[in-house]
Amino acid sequence: MTFKAATLTELLESHRGTDRSITYHEGENDQRVVSFGELHERALGILWHLQRLGAKRGDKLILFLNNNEQFLDAFWAAVLGGIVPVPVALGISDEHRHKLLRIARQLGTPYLYTERRSLERIGTFAAGAGAGELKTYEALRARTFLVDDLDDISRPGSVQKVAPEDTAFIQFSSGSTSEPKGVVLTHANLLANARGVVEATGFTSQDVSLSWMPLTHDMGLIGFHLIMFAAQVQAHLMPTELFIRRPLLWLTLASRVRASILCSPNFGYKHYLKVLGERAPEGLDLSAVRFIFNGAEPISAELCEEFLSRLAPSKLERTAMFPVYGLAEASLAVAFPTPGAPLKTLALNRHRMNPGDPVEPVPATDRDAVQLVCEGQAIPYCEVRIADEAGAAIPADRIGHVLIRGANVTRGYFENREANAAAFTADGWLRTGDLGLVHEGGLYISGRAKEIIFVNGQNYYPHDLEAVAQRADGLELGKVVAAGIRPRGGQTEDLIVFVLHRSGAEDFLPLATQVSRLVNEQTGLEVAEVVPVKRIPKTTSGKVQRHLLEEAFLAGEFDAERAQLRELKAAQRAPQSGARTQIEQKLQEICDAALPGKRIGVDDNLFEVGASSLKLIEIHEQIDKEYPGKVDLTELFDYPTIAELARHLESKLG
């Protein structure tokens, strides 16, 4: 499959007569099919409204939408007008609204495309966040188009001619409290990456794709929309929230539509298998699946194995698992294995994995083994180099810094001279921030030079999470350390927060509870444990040595303190008040089912017991089944205990 387009505008216009479509799934039997031609028409109609609002070629348009169809309509409308789309995840917490306003400030005078309810929530947040945030919001509101007002798309907007080197869109990193960095991707970058992917995989117009990844994520937007569109693949999209609520529906739909291309990070396989439980999958025929793209977070060999084994009765080929390496700075894809090749792994001694180290292979069963998955070779139009600190290439079988360059690689971050100076070597290679090695011709990612925590397919900077935790009483900079730790035998990372504390466990428990609640409320992440430590190891220059805390945790050095805290928590929870009303009883049943083992009392704060954003979605879905349309998902933040939520519901029910 080849395509001649030099820009996304040309791509959309050249494909509008193609007999292919995108199917938007909203439920098991609720879908809408939109042809490539209809997508082009709708985009033109929306462009008319954007241009009427004043948006011109080169202006920025923030897309702040949950609905996949609305998102892609607006994305292509911007592209046709030479307007630069900037996707931002909607999320459910105030941190997402805070991030939106920070991005708006960076962009200067952007436009915003969203829905009325989301705009109101941004306004409510800004009003309570200070004069600066309110000023940014007021400027943004004046340049907002509400999708609720889209009543007529019969008038076409004016298509603007763009060049291959023009910016196609800007992908912002998931900064939580720090300033997010905007990866600038040109039309040429994106189409080079699409060509490289299609050549490496052999995608054809006979393929069928299905994705639940959010379109604000590069795997979702570039991998499972732009590349599928370029290759004229019959595409199916389901909302991320639908997958979270009903993960089994993912493969039910894959079987039904005969999908040949799927994707998921670790989190998705784990979520699917957890809900599947001990049951055997029923009624699935996955024999058509050629690729399950596995990326977006460090790949777990054990989880790949478990997923493939559990789905083998559904005719899923073992060679379908396709572990890949990529990042937004590469317009997504960097390295792919050979299609149809079996999964390759390499077990290394975890104590011999520093930059410059020659690797030390060990048996996978060794206590100190870290099992890495082969992610193949560089795709066409992209190069990979394993390098030393200075950027010079080093031999195979040594750990080094992963550098990339090629037609698909960004020229830099949006108006960020400091980040750009740090990102590129003198000879033009981009530092990915990852560590890895080449073994027998294959790329293995071994870790990261810059510390990043991977949770649910997203990456978070430890210092961002630490800044949130530091809002707890008595905490300050340098007294708290966030780390992502994969337990021995575990498949995904747990978020562990270490806090400097030299008193007893009884004094520490209220502080630990506060830290968990703050991180949970602000970021939607569940803190697995808050651990007291007597000292925080640092380098002579004062830099926190997270890896030493991680190693001590895995070695069991904090087991006594952890056990004592668990006992104290259990003792505190024992006499909890039970439900007093029928609504409280029903809400308690829902929360108990969603949070097994947490033993929630009616006055317990959901965020203190660790209800992650995924669990909140699950809880909200069950509440909505019992009391349709009465409670909005974001109201769980306003009424975080069963008792408060019950009173709120009672007032709604009269």
CB atoms within 10 A of CB 156: 15
Q: Cα(637)–Cα(617) distance, rounded to whole angstroms?
A: 12
Average pLDDT over residues 81-99: 89
CATH number for the domain formed by residue range(s) 582-653: 1.10.1200.10
How high is the pLDDT of residue 176? 46
Average pLDDT over residues 474-494: 78
Average pLDDT over residues 589-616: 76
Pick the CATH number of 461-573 from 3.30.300.30, 3.40.50.300, 1.10.10.10, 3.40.109.10: 3.30.300.30
Cβ atoms of 387 and 427 closer than 8 Å: no
CATH 2.30.38.10-classified regions of the chain: 333-448
Single-letter amino acid, residue 24: Y
pLDDT surpasses 60 at 575: no
Q: 345 - beta bridge partners? A: 373
pTM beyond 0.75: yes
Q: Cα(29)–Cα(173) distance, rounded to whole angstroms?
A: 35
pLDDT band at residue 108 under the 50/70/90 scheme: very high
**Average pLDDT along the chain:** 89
CATH 1.10.1200.10-classified regions of the chain: 582-653
Cβ atoms of 157 and 51 closer than 8 Å: yes
Query: pLDDT by residue (tens digit) across 500-552?
Result: 888 888 888 888 888 888 888 777 788 888 999 988 887 655 567 787 888 88
Query: pLDDT by residue (tens digit) across 303-332?
Result: 899 999 999 999 999 999 999 999 999 999
pLDDT surpasses 90 at 464: no
Query: pLDDT by residue (tens digit) across 177-203?
Result: 567 899 999 999 999 999 999 999 999
Query: pLDDT by residue (tens digit) across 129-180?
Result: 889 999 999 999 999 999 999 999 999 999 999 999 999 999 997 654 567 8
User: Element (H or E) spanning 292, and its range?
Assistant: strand 291-294
Q: Architecture of 333-448 per CATH?
A: Roll (2.30)
Q: Architecture of 8-246 per CATH?
A: 3-Layer(aba) Sandwich (3.40)
How high is the pLDDT of residue 82? 98
CATH 3.30.300.30-classified regions of the chain: 461-573
pLDDT band at residue 581 under the 50/70/90 scheme: confident
How high is the pLDDT of residue 488? 73
Instruction: Write out the two tokens for 55.
Output: 């948006």
How high is the pLDDT of residue 106? 95
Average pLDDT over residues 591-618: 75
Strand, helix or coil for residue 352: coil
CATH 3.40.50.12780-classified regions of the chain: 8-246
Query: pLDDT by residue (tens digit) across 38-66?
Result: 999 999 999 999 999 999 999 999 999 99
**Please, what sign has the CA dihedral across residues 98, 100, 101, 107?**
positive
Within a 13 Å sphere around the CA of 472, how many CA atoms are in the beta-carbon half? 28
